[in-house]
């Protein structure tokens, strides 16, 4: 038997954040994971996909180099070296994380854990007990029941390890994962078709951002079939065929199933030990405590945004609450959201539709096109910054699309979470020439004093 103050089931971003902060606060910690600590984010998600997306950006730069007076050519991709680059990044981060966990005296138990009581977990026959248990088992790619994965029908986990770059690909789902892989493969020369059941790509974003993305994807020759459902998927040794509701049949080398991620809560003994689960998600109160007082749940298994940085926040919050400290959660609307396709998408707060539903007709919006931004012109970057302001003048939504806008989301989240009025924020200086100026220009415009914007 092993015992500690805090036992954490799952070593992804939420789990290891809870472990690290608990140890920093003087708690003894046991961290249980059936694989390597770091979870999907480090090994099969955020980090490896963004490494590949950076390589895709390098490929795009090689193709367009002559526009900048640089003689360069794109001659193709070496998948072995590509994966070598990706794996080196992952390995270095994993080594650093492992060293941090070891240095803090956190005990890591490898194996599949299952809840056996309000303070106990079985790990492959070994009982682990704790004063408090934190459930942090994360999520896995969702695959509709009518679809069977294979060498040609892939989840994002499989797509990350492809030994070759497909000539043609169909992507089922136009959300974050779908458009990131579409962008990645298109940069490497793949002919991509996205099939999305809802009326637009990235349907959780502001409608204006979807419009920009669809237009810019068309320029990149990425085909998007929105408002379209799939009725059948078949494959053979040569190709995969996707039948649409219209009767049309698409054929490609591979199909990526990117319809979202499902919480990993099955087979963990949760309901049997009194933990309420609804629709696969663990039900918690505002402190992330479950229906069993000694058990908390964090990250992707708690309904809401499935983002690594949300899980980080959950882990830190729960660790501080367990240690008796005051802590406060940022609501999901205040958590930055970034999609790393080309062009990037970054947003925080309410969409225009959501703001009008909440605040009525007094909502104001302004959209500043990156065509007026000097830095964006240098980068040959298209896109826009859209602000949503409530009737009192406070910024309640920031929605951006364009190269590098992920780096602008830090200021945007402060505007939203601190309830800053656009007129107050507009008086501060944004360095020239930067893309950050676009946010400053939008703030000035919505305050009635635009500088480089007509109207």
**Paired tokens of 140:** 């896995």
What is the β-pairing status of strands 29-33 and 107-110?
Answer: parallel
Number of other CB atoms surrounding residue 378 within 10 Å: 11
Tell me the β-bridge partners of 2. 128
Helix (H) or strand (E) holding 209: helix 207-219
User: Taking a C-beta distance cutoff of 8 angstroms, is the pair 321, 328 a contact?
Assistant: no
**Paired tokens of 435:** 């893309």
Cα 69 to Cα 65: distance, rounded to the nearest angstrom: 7
- DSSP for 224-237 reads EEES--EEEEEE-S
**Quick one: DSSP state of residue 362?**
G
Q: Can you tell me which residue has the tokens 């962008």?
A: 183
396 closest CA partner among 358, 445, 439: 358
432 catalytic? Reply is yes
Q: Provide CB contacts within 8 A for 284, sequence distance 6+.
A: 290, 296, 297, 302
Question: What is the rounded (10 degree) CA torsion for 410, 177, 84, 99?
Answer: 50
User: Taking a C-beta distance cutoff of 8 angstroms, is the pair 126, 112 a contact?
Assistant: no
Indicate which residue of 54, 342, 430, 432 is catalytic: 432
**Quick one: DSSP state of residue 202?**
S
Q: Provide CB contacts within 8 A for 409, sequence distance 6+.
A: 336, 338, 346, 347, 348, 398, 400
End-to-end CA distance of the chain: 71
**Paired tokens of 379:** 């980068």
Strand, helix or coil at 19? helix
Q: Provide CB contacts within 8 A for 349, sequence distance 6+.
A: 333, 334, 388, 395, 396, 397, 398, 412, 416
Helix (H) or strand (E) holding 149: none
How far out from the chain centre does Cα 373 lie? 27
Active-site residues: which are they? Answer: 432
């Amino acid at each position: 038997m092993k015992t500690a103050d805090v036992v954490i089931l799952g070593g992804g971003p939420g789990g290891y954040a809870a472990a690290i902060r608990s140890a920093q606060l003087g708690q003894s910690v046991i961290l249980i994971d059936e694989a390597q600590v770091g979870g999907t984010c480090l090994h099969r998600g955020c980090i490896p996909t963004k490494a590949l997306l950076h390589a895709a950006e390098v490929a795009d730069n090689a193709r367009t180099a002559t526009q900048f007076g640089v003689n360069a050519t794109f001659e193709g991709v070496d998948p072995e070296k590509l994966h070598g680059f990706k794996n080196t990044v992952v390995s270095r981060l994993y080594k650093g994380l492992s060293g941090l966990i070891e240095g803090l005296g956190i005990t890591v138990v490898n194996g599949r854990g299952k809840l056996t009581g309000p303070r106990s977990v079985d790990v492959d026959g070994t009982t682990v007990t704790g004063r408090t248990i934190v459930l942090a088992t994360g999520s896995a790619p969702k695959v509709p029941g009518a679809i069977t994965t294979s060498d040609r029908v892939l989840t994002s986990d499989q797509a990350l390890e492809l030994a070759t770059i497909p000539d043609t690909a169909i992507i089922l789902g136009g959300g974050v994962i779908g458009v990131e892989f579409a962008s990645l493969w298109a940069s490497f020369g793949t002919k991509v078709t996205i099939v999305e059941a809802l009326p637009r790509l990235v349907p959780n974003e502001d409608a204006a951002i979807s419009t920009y993305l669809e237009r810019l994807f068309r320029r990149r020759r990425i085909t998007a079939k929105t408002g379209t459902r799939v009725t059948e998927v078949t494959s053979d040794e040569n190709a995969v065929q996707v039948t649409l509701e219209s009767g049309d049949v698409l054929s490609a080398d591979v199909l990526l199933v990117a319809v979202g991620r499902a919480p990993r809560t099955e087979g963990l003994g949760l309901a049997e030990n009194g933990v309420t689960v609804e629709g696969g998600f663990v039900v918690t109160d505002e402190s992330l405590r479950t229906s069993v007082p000694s058990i908390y749940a964090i990250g992707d298994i708690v309904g809401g945004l499935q983002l690594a940085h949300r899980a980080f926040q959950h882990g830190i919050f729960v660790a501080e609450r367990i240690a008796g400290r005051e802590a406060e959660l940022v609501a999901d609307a205040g958590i930055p959201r970034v999609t790393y396709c080309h062009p990037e998408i970054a947003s925080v707060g309410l969409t225009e539709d959501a703001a009008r539903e909440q605040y009525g007709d007094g909502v104001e919006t302004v959209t500043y096109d990156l065509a007026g931004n000097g830095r964006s012109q240098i980068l040959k970057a298209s896109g826009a910054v859209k602000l949503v302001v409530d009737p009192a003048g406070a910024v309640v939504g920031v929605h951006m699309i364009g190269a590098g806008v992920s780096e602008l989301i830090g200021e945007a989240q402060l505007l939203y979470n601190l309830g800053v009025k656009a007129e107050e924020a507009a008086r501060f200086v944004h360095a020239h020439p930067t893309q950050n100026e676009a946010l400053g220009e939008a703030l000035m415009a919505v305050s009635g004093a635009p500088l480089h914007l007509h109207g």
